[in-house]
Amino acid sequence: MGEKLYGVAKGMKNFIMLTLGTGVGAGIIVNGELVYGHDGFAGELGHICMDRSDDARQCGCGLRGCLETYCSATGVARTAREFLQKTTRPSSLRNKPADKIESLDVYNAALEGDEIAKEIFKFTGTILGWACADFTAFASPEAFVFFGGLCKSGDLIMKPVEEAYKKNVMPLFRNKAKFVISSLMNKNAAVLGASALGWV
Ligand SMILES: [Zn+2]
């Protein structure tokens, strides 16, 4: 709601907000209203299933293969460990003990042109793009608004998101939704969001 009143979603009545932090959080605005569901918990989009195989990643919520096990900062670090283990290709990420790698390390390595780091972002963005394509079938948002540390990686993540989205969204919806980054980052967004509730 903060994004709708003060941020990039000003004037929008249908959009989905995705927060890529330690986990993946979401808010769904339909017809100008936040979707609460019958118990207030609607919008747990971080826990839709992206992988139903037996070895899918364990999520903190108790399920397996959740979106947030891939598309959060911790998901990126997890992908880094997996990718480094799968191959012996050189990467500057190997300079750090695997269990100490953070998403920021992957970002810095990608900026320096590290191939594995770039592949990690492509993998992460692709999964997020698939998820957005599914969300579109459900709510037909005019925009996806991204928030959180991970979207500061800019094109590294957003390009694969948009590519995967384009390929996987129902043709009826193609080239309609915008992908934008929040304008409230570093601006006390939680307080703005809470205060926005006073206006609705
Ligand atoms: Zn989960």
Neighbours of ion ligand 1 (CB under 5 A): 47, 59, 61, 63, 66
What is the C-alpha separation between 136 and 170, in angstroms, rounded? 8
**What separation in Å is there between the alpha carbon of 62 and the centre of ligand 1?**
6
Task: Pick the closest to residue 116 from 67, 159, 79 (CA basis).
Answer: 79
- More reliable by pLDDT, 189 or 69: 69
Structure token pair of residue 190? 């939680």
Q: Domain limits at 189? A: 2-199
**What separation in Å is there between the alpha carbon of 16 and the centre of ligand 1?**
19
pLDDT on residue 37: 97
**What separation in Å is there between the alpha carbon of 89 and the centre of ligand 1?**
31
Alpha helix locations (H) across the chain?
2-6, 68-71, 73-86, 103-111, 115-139, 155-168, 189-196
**What separation in Å is there between the alpha carbon of 52 and the centre of ligand 1?**
12
**What separation in Å is there between the alpha carbon of 20 and the centre of ligand 1?**
14
User: Quick one: CA torsion of 137, 74, 44, 39, rounded to 10 degrees?
Assistant: 180
Residue 186 has pLDDT above 90, yes or no: no
Task: Pick the closest to residue 130 from 172, 153, 171, 160 (CA basis).
Answer: 160
**If you average pLDDT over residues 9-15, what whole number do you get?**
96
pLDDT tens digit sequence for 95-137: 999 999 999 999 999 999 999 999 999 999 999 999 999 999 9
Position 158, amino acid: M
Q: What is the CATH number of the domain that holds 172?
A: 3.30.420.40
Residue 92 has pLDDT above 80, yes or no: yes
pLDDT on residue 185: 85
Residues whose CB is less than 8 angstroms from the CB of residue 136 and which lie 6 or more positions away in sequence, other chains included = 165, 169, 170, 173, 177
Position 62, amino acid: G
**What separation in Å is there between the alpha carbon of 198 and the centre of ligand 1?**
31
Please tell me the total count of domains within the chain. Answer: 1
Residue 66 has pLDDT above 80, yes or no: yes
pLDDT on residue 200: 73
- Check residue 175 and give left, alpha or beta (phi > 0: left; psi -120 to 50: alpha): left
